[in-house]
Structure 1
Amino acid sequence: MIAGQLVMSAGLLVLCLLPAITPVWLVAVLPMPVSLGGAPSVTAMTGLLLAGVPAERAGLAPAC
């Protein structure tokens, strides 16, 4: 989970530092590390957060 967050953070940092003259193809390719790192880490964090919610509030947890 930590590795996924690091990959996602590095990808976002690179995207933030792109100059305005960056080619479109590069801007289209660079979000890939963000999605590859975010997919496993965000799903794991969501599972951990929802596992800590009491059963009687389970229907309300995703809305909070």
Structure 2
Amino acid sequence: MSQGDKSSYTDKQKRQAEHIEQSEIARGASRKDAERIAWATVNKQDGGGKQSGSGRKPPHDGKH
């Protein structure tokens, strides 16, 4: 985890990123690419960093 400050991420997000990174390396990705993919995936899933109540999207109600 060399790029950027990861201190705002939860321990769970850090573990997820590490697991994804190891999986990508096993698939043949370079360590740099694996790290980039891992953190992009965590950010896409969770919005990045610790989540607070404000600024989060409300759940979709499925009526549209």
TM exceeding 0.5:
no
Q: Higher helix proportion, which one?
A: 1
- Alignment TM-score, normalising by the size of structure 2: 0.31
**Structure showing greater Rg:** 1
Select the structure with the greater relative contact order (CA < 8 A; seq sep ≥ 6): 1
